């Protein structure tokens, strides 16, 4: 069987697609895979900050269209980029074992967030990271930073930044671990929902491909990502709002933390709850409801009003 794998063309996206290709070819006899590079809106409009994106699916919609048209058979996404609402004909067929979800600081040296000089310039395109950075230290100056991971690392020097914040998973996958100054704890910075995980999207009515990708699925990672996506869906928030979530499973119990923050980082609303892993999606919704009742709804309303 020949399988076409759709992906963005960035170095990290290609690493992820080739990882899936190699796992399928070595794990299932008779499968041969081809990588198909698809340019997304996120790749075309590189000058636009993430929170300014016109709609959801900035990095995924074009790939999904190819999946629906059967130009490709599997779409490989970073789970954090995939909107909570996807076309009904499509489904997440597998979530491979999740990499560590933390964000990291890269400075060019070995400074931590606490060590950085007063008024330090930190590069990030994420409102979620910006809000939590300012909550941790209100003196930071946040500079919008777009581009692929390797581009952002280069901009650390070219734009005279004191540090940049990126996801650990991408840094590890591309072999840049030696550049990490600090792995930021979840108590300081909750990640984006699904961060560190891959989502393999397939056509719902394609049993052969569905069966193939199941071989790559990690059940605990799938359950955790689904819980975080349910949390995000209930909030109706994405890259356009400072929202974070992380969950993990231990002894059939899912533990999930979530936060909603104003853009300036003041008065972050953060909670943790837990429940049975088989109720993971319901637990994610419950957490969202608790945050909304605790002031999160007002924060999100104010952010939305600023855009009107």
What positions carry a catalytic annotation? 81
Those residues whose C-beta lies under 8 Å from the C-beta of residue 293, and which sit 6 or more positions away, are none
Q: Within 13 Å, how many C-alpha atoms sit on residue 127's CB side? A: 21
Those residues whose C-beta lies under 8 Å from the C-beta of residue 122, and which sit 6 or more positions away, are 116, 133, 140, 141, 142, 143, 161, 162, 163, 164, 165
Q: Within 13 Å, how many C-alpha atoms sit on residue 133's CB side? A: 27
Q: Where are the beta strands (DSSP E) in 112-183?
A: 121-123, 141-143, 163-167, 182-183
Please tell me the distance from the alpha carbon of residue 184 to that of residue 167, in angstroms, as a whole number: 10
- Beta bridge partners of residue 59, listed in sequence order: none
Please tell me the distance from the alpha carbon of residue 172 to that of residue 180, in angstroms, as a whole number: 10
Please tell me the distance from the alpha carbon of residue 261 to that of residue 300, in angstroms, as a whole number: 8
- Beta bridge partners of residue 64, listed in sequence order: none
- The interaxial angle of helices 280-291 and 219-235, nearest 10 deg, is 30
């Amino acid at each position: 069987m020949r399988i076409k794998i759709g992906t963005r063309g960035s170095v990290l996206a290609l690493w992820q697609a080739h990882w899936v290709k190699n796992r399928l070819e070595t794990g299932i006899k008779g499968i041969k895979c081809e990588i198909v590079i698809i340019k997304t809106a996120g790749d075309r409009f590189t000058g636009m900050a993430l929170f300014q994106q016109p709609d959801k699916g900035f990095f995924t919609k074009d790939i999904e269209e190819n999946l629906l048209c059967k130009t490709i058979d599997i779409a490989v996404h970073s789970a954090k980029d995939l909107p909570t609402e996807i076309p009904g004909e499509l489904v997440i067929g597998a979530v491979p074992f999740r990499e560590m979800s933390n964000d990291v600081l890269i400075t060019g040296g070995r400074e931590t967030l606490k060590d950085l000089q007063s008024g330090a310039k930190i590069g990030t395109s994420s409102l979620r990271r910006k809000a939590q950075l300012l909550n941790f230290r209100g003196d930071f100056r946040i500079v919008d930073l777009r581009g692929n991971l390797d581009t952002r690392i280069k901009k650390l020097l070219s734009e005279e930044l004191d540090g940049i914040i990126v996801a650990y998973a991408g840094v590890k996958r591309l072999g840049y671990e030696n550049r990490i100054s600090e792995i930021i704890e979840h108590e300081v910075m909750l990640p984006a929902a699904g961060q560190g995980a891959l989502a393999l999207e397939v056509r719902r009515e394609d049993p052969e491909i569905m069966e193939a990708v199941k071989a790559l699925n990690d059940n605990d990672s799938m359950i955790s990502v689904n819980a975080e996506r349910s949390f995000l869906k209930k909030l109706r928030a994405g890259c356009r709002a400072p929202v974070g979530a992380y969950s993990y499973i231990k002894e059939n119990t899912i533990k999930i933390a979530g936060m909603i923050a104003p853009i300036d980082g003041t008065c972050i609303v953060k909670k943790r709850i837990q429940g049975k892993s088989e109720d993971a999606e319901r637990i994610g919704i419950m957490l969202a409801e608790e945050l909304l009742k605790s002031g999160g709804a007002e924060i999100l309303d104010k952010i939305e009003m600023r855009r009107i």
